[in-house]
Amino acid sequence: MEFKEVVGRRRSIRFFEPHRPVEREKIQTILEAARLASCAVNANWLRAIVVERDKLPRETLDQLKTPVSAVNLELAPVHIYFYGDLGAVPRSRGSTLKELVDVGALNPSHGWSHKFVDDLVWPMILEPMMSSPIMQTQAVAADCGVAICQALLAAVDEGLGACLSAFSTGIAKQALAVPDDWLPIYCLLVGYPAESWQAGGQRPRPPFEELYFEGKYGTPFQRDQNVVESLKAANMIQAPAPLPGRREEVRELSRRFGLPE
């Protein structure tokens, strides 16, 4: 698919074919997409633990569920537990930035050199940031979010259903042997959708001009209807929910899986 259509087709799929396996190469593709994401100071904070649902002990699977994710975790055949490695930058001491200098991504034209990293960036920017739990968490969460988004869109491009989900982080830490300095972020549930890929249509969103501003807050960024029509033609903007027959589809799926109607 073209990129705009991938963005437009993305839905939070919550009805999966629970016993249809996901090809290993597709899981690798999802992780490769995450690995290539932009990341501050080339830190590569994101970590992932891929778990096949059926290889989890039943007790562990039940304990991982939250009130809003229980059915999702039960139906999805693959869980990808995403974390941010809080120790990534302290361990590197700027070496990942020097790699960017060496390959020509950070250049003398912009002031970059190994000495610049050692004398300024590390002691004056990175060390203070890493010593502040709030600043560190903000940086890690933001960069991991970018990588997770790429993983999510890659799953859609592979023809899979996917949904970001909460999970019981304490249970996961124990069950998956998660290191102490990994920050839990999200679980990406992956599988082939049992519901139609449209999943009832694109979800409601606030009006464009209420979200985005130009120059300063209070001056809406004006939406150009010609652009909207172009994005509709590219299948990025699609028919909004609810599509006809959606409630009937959900009722049929609920009966199939023995869920409340």
pLDDT single digits (tens) 20-36 = 999 999 999 999 999 99
On the question of pLDDT at 53 being above 90, the answer is yes
Q: Which two tokens stand for residue 178?
A: 């998660």
- Residue ranges of domains in the chain: 3-89+132-194
Give the homologous superfamily in CATH for domain 3-89+132-194.
NADH Oxidase (3.40.109.10)
Q: Which pLDDT score, from 0 to 100, does residue 90 have?
A: 84
The residue whose two tokens read 């519901």 is 195
Q: Which pLDDT score, from 0 to 100, does residue 130 have?
A: 85
Percent of the chain with pLDDT over 90: 88
Looking at 39-43, 99-103, 111-115, 213-217, which range is the least confident one?
Answer: 39-43
Neighbours of 3 (CB within 10 A): 11
Q: Average pLDDT, stretch 148-175?
A: 97
| Residue 166 phi, psi dihedral angles, 5° rounding | -75, 160
Q: Which long-range contacts (CB under 8 A, 24 or more apart) does 46-49 make?
A: 46/82, 46/83, 46/84, 46/85, 46/143, 46/144, 46/147, 46/148, 47/82, 47/83, 47/84, 47/85, 47/182, 48/80, 48/81, 48/82, 48/83, 49/80, 49/81, 49/83, 49/176, 49/178
pLDDT in tens, 81-121: 999 999 988 888 889 999 999 999 999 999 999 999 999 99
Residues 13-44 as b or e (16 or more Cβ within 10 Å = b): bbbbbeeeebeeebbebbbebbeebebbbbbb
Average pLDDT score, the chain: 95
The pTM (predicted TM-score) of the whole model is 0.95
Q: Which pLDDT score, from 0 to 100, does residue 93 have?
A: 84
On the question of pLDDT at 157 being above 90, the answer is yes
Going by pLDDT thresholds of 50, 70 and 90, the confidence category of residue 41 is confident
Q: Which pLDDT score, from 0 to 100, does residue 172 have?
A: 96
On the question of pLDDT at 6 being above 90, the answer is yes
